[in-house]
Amino acid sequence: MTESEIFEFFHNLGIVPVVKIDDAAKAEKLAEAMIKGGIPCAEVTFRTDAAEEAIRRMTTAFPEMIVGAGTVLNKETAERAVKAGAKFIVSPGLDEGTVRWCQENGIPVTPGVSSASEIQKGVNLGLKVLKFFPAESSGGVKMLKDLGGPFPQVKFMTTGGINTANLEEYARAKNVLAVGGSWMVKADLINEDKWDEIEALCREAVTKLQGFELAHFGINAKCKDCAEAMTKKFGAFGMIPSATSKSFFMDKSIEIMNENGRGTHGHIGYKVNNVQRAMNYVKNLGYTIAEDSYTYDASGKVKFFYVNEEIGGFAIHFMAK
């Protein structure tokens, strides 16, 4: 995989777990649980002697899994990690020698930064993706938004203090490539062989990151007059109609389509934190995307889409929060 393919994969999945493993013999079980939970990637940190062997075992057993090395403090460690099969390198801080070694060897590298000066240094080394660490203690999402002003070209992998409670704020931030963290793969869970729990925590993280929120129900009327007649009926329940080019919204919770509404019975609309990631998520569930339903934001990114499959006769669409 090329560097841009790896970063695109991280963006679309949205999560890269940070692993501290004490016993390399548990690496395959851990990788299996993470893959089953929907997260086929990991940053294995060089905070234990088992890291190198764990990377080797994970990548041998699951070659499709994107395993990288974290807490890489110098180029010698980067070299060892890559020899063991690491596909990317992460450091807590910015070490020029490590960055240059990775660049010369075509290995994606994301050094840690937590200030404008460090970001500037990273940018001048030719990097477009940096690790924002430690995210929460360095100012969190507010700091990321402020940094987006002078550094619009930079995307961040954010780690340090992220968990299910604050995950979604990061998922909505425009300059976050992916969030990272150890909460779903804690060392204790690995040491105690809690594979089912790790799988469940991974699945919970992936779903939570999407931030699914029911937006409205759609009713298919046969014609505009029929739709308008319906607005009167819902109006009697205190709902206020507002017209769009193709429908009437009753408050925000019911949309009455004038004609040619999708779905056998109508549709259900969901809001999500990031439309691109939602597309990846539903594809992984086996849905296909109705590309003819796309609408775009000002920057040309898809902001709305339907899937082709219905649930109980209802078409389903997703849109940005």
Q: Which is nearer to ligand 3PG, 182 or 247 (CB)?
A: 182
User: What does the buried/exposed string (b/e) look like for 213-247 if buried means 16 or more CB atoms within 10 Å of the residue's CB?
Assistant: eebbbbbbbeebeebeebbeebeeeebebeeeeeb
Q: At closest approach, how far in Å is the CB of 135 from ligand 3PG?
A: 8
Q: What is the DSSP string of 217-237?
A: EEEE-SSHHHHHHHHHHHHTT
Check 26, 43, 75, 87 and give the catalytic one.
Answer: 43
| Residue from 120, 161, 217, 230 binding ligand 3PG (CB under 6 A) | 161
User: In angstroms, rounded to a whole number, what is the distance separating the alpha carbons of residues 148 and 21?
Assistant: 34
Indicate whether 89 belongs to the interface with ligand 3PG (CB under 6 A). no
Which residue intervals of 236-319 are DSSP H helices? 275-284
Q: At closest approach, how far in Å is the CB of 20 from ligand 3PG?
A: 8
Cβ atoms 44, 212 nearer than 8 A: no
The yes-or-no answer on residue 43 being catalytic is yes
Q: Which is nearer to ligand 3PG, 31 or 179 (CB)?
A: 179
Q: Which is nearer to ligand 3PG, 15 or 102 (CB)?
A: 15
Indicate whether 160 belongs to the interface with ligand 3PG (CB under 6 A). yes
What does residue 133 show for φ and ψ, rounded to 5 degrees?
-150, 140
User: In angstroms, rounded to a whole number, what is the distance separating the alpha carbons of residues 218 and 220?
Assistant: 7
Go through the chain and tell me how many residues it has: 321
User: In angstroms, rounded to a whole number, what is the distance separating the alpha carbons of residues 313 and 218?
Assistant: 12
Cβ atoms 12, 276 nearer than 8 A: yes
Query: Stretches 145-153, 174-182, 198-206, 269-277: which one binds ligand 3PG (CB under 6 A)?
Result: 174-182
Q: At closest approach, how far in Å is the CB of 170 from ligand 3PG?
A: 12
Residue linked to tokens 């203690």: 137
Q: Which is nearer to ligand 3PG, 108 or 180 (CB)?
A: 180
The yes-or-no answer on residue 121 being catalytic is no
Residues 45-74 that bind ligand 3PG (CB under 6 A): 45, 70
Residues 4-43 that bind ligand 3PG (CB under 6 A): 18
Residues 235-294 that bind ligand 3PG (CB under 6 A): none
Q: Which is nearer to ligand 3PG, 133 or 151 (CB)?
A: 133
Check 20, 131, 155, 199 and give the catalytic one.
Answer: 131
Residue linked to tokens 């259900």: 268
**Under the rule (CB under 6 A), what is the footprint of ligand 3PG?**
18, 45, 70, 133, 159-162, 180-183
- Residues labelled as active-site residues: 43, 131
